[in-house]
Amino acid sequence: MGQGGHLLLKNKTPYRWKLTHKHSYQMKYWDNSFPSIIEPGSFAHVYIEWTEGTKNKKDDAGEIDYVMEGINASFQIQARAKNGFEINILFKNFHTNQIGNGETIRLGWSHNNSLVFMIAGSNGQFTSLGSRQNANKWMINLNDNKKLNEITIPGSHDTCTYDMSLVNYGYLLNLINIIPTVDPFSLLLKGAISLGGSLAVNRVVAFSQCQEMNLRKQLDRGLRFLDIRLKKEENHLQAYHGGIKIPMTFSQITQTCYEFLKLNSSETIIMSIQNEGDGNKPIGVLVKSEIDANKEKWYVDSSIPRLGNGTNKEDARGKLVLLRRYAQQADETKIGINISDIWPQNTQKENLVNSDNQLFSIQDEYQDYILNKLDHKFLNHVRPFLKETANTLFINFTSGIGTTGGFVFPKTLAKGDESFSTFKGTNQLLFNHLLDKMNGVYGIIPMDFPEYPNDSLIPLIISTNHF
């Protein structure tokens, strides 16, 4: 058998997609895999297989042309094998907010898995999404009246942990004397540090790192929820994960977001801010100082906003939305959507009502997962929260770790480890679950290593929205 996989085609336009041309050379499954019509508001999950193992396997090729009935717009799906198996999309006689007329995007290839391609919107205002593609402006075709609790929003857990460059053994030796002993993650760190030398460094990094994409790439790829953990250091705020210092300040984080929003004013970024220090070093004054210096770039009211068109104070477009996980002092002006007093610690709860009568359901069960039951995170926690409830903002973390019966690192849970298990990762289970979901409102989904599997999970999550 040759290499086989699927291509998910989602038609979220008002036009029928009609197959007008098909051709292949040495493809095992191609010509008859694609439907003749893909109706508006429907999808096709197409099986593709290359002829692998032949002398001329690099000549495998195929083309499928679809035209959007009623307008002079079409696209061609291409199979190419010259430089490795690859599925491409050529745009003909139309453009999207991401791709120009006549341009080709490369979705890549994923053996025994699925690639994703979607077009939404109407003539002159199309949005496209695809595997391995940026999604800078995916919110542009969402209705202005939609509130954030009516949108499916991909995000990152412990957003800034892609840079662990400060972690060395000398740093860890200093750290062991100051981290608390009551916090489970701190206890885990102390156990790792006791290994000594490079073993200690590698173990701490494995437990602490939750991302590989840097902040700007996360935003470019389509993530719109950021999980920011800060500690007060002298007169500034520093990014941390537990006791691990990350080489980014709050000002650097916000500057990256401002620059992104300046270029992509159709978008909004929900920023969850948490005090990763203790109560003796509150962060509220310094957070507010940053916001006050850039008031037009923030939404800091207490209610869940609508997207709007970006011209009004109550609109979220073009702004950062403060989701406040840190407690404010009695003399501070209250700002942001307050979830500091309702956040469930290592558990999940539905129908939580905050101090401003806003409704939330939050799943953040981050430990303790064990090696022979790695699917429990998705089956017992993530999947039950993939549901719609009116007027409720769902926040559904896919992340987690484990220390019982063997170490479960964030990456192990997110993407699996084929060296010792058939478990493909929580991200893959989420991907599989959403493959046949045309539309849905699943809330905020913060993830570890969301580029897995095959840079297709983020566009798939986005594609479930009602465009």
Percent of the chain with pLDDT over 70: 97
What pLDDT, in 10s, does the model give residues 184-200?
666 777 777 777 788 88
Residue 58 CB: number of other CB atoms within 10 A?
14
Any idea which of 27-36, 55-64, 128-137, 377-386 has the lowest mean pLDDT?
55-64
What pLDDT, in 10s, does the model give residues 87-131?
999 999 999 998 999 999 999 999 999 999 999 999 889 999 999
pLDDT of 337 reads: 98
Rounded to 10 deg, the angle between the 284-292 and 250-263 helix axes is 30
pLDDT of 176 reads: 75
Percent of the chain with pLDDT over 90: 80
Q: What are phi and psi of 219, to 5 degrees?
A: -65, -45
Listed in sequence order, the residues at least 6 apart from 430 whose beta carbon sits closer than 8 Å to its beta carbon are 378, 382, 398, 445, 447, 457, 461
pLDDT tier at 54, thresholds 50, 70, 90: low
| Rounded distance between C-alpha atoms, residue 111 and residue 261, angstroms | 36
pLDDT tier at 352, thresholds 50, 70, 90: very high
- Domains defined along the chain, listed by start: 4-133 (2.60.270), 149-164+209-463 (3.20.20.190)
Q: Does residue 301 surpass a pLDDT of 70?
A: yes
Q: Does residue 279 surpass a pLDDT of 80?
A: no
Q: Does residue 57 surpass a pLDDT of 70?
A: no
pTM value is 0.96
| Rounded distance between C-alpha atoms, residue 247 and residue 240, angstroms | 9
For residue 234, give the amino acid letter: E
pLDDT of 182 reads: 59
Q: Does residue 447 surpass a pLDDT of 80?
A: yes
The structure tokens listed for 66 are 């679809």
pLDDT averaged over every residue in the chain: 93
pLDDT tier at 277, thresholds 50, 70, 90: confident
Peptide bond into 315 cis (omega under 30): no
The structure tokens listed for 11 are 């038609």
pLDDT of 455 reads: 97
Long-range (24+ apart) CB contacts under 8 A made by 69-75 are: 69/15, 69/16, 69/17, 69/18, 70/15, 70/16, 71/15, 71/123, 73/15, 73/123, 74/20, 75/119
pLDDT of 181 reads: 61
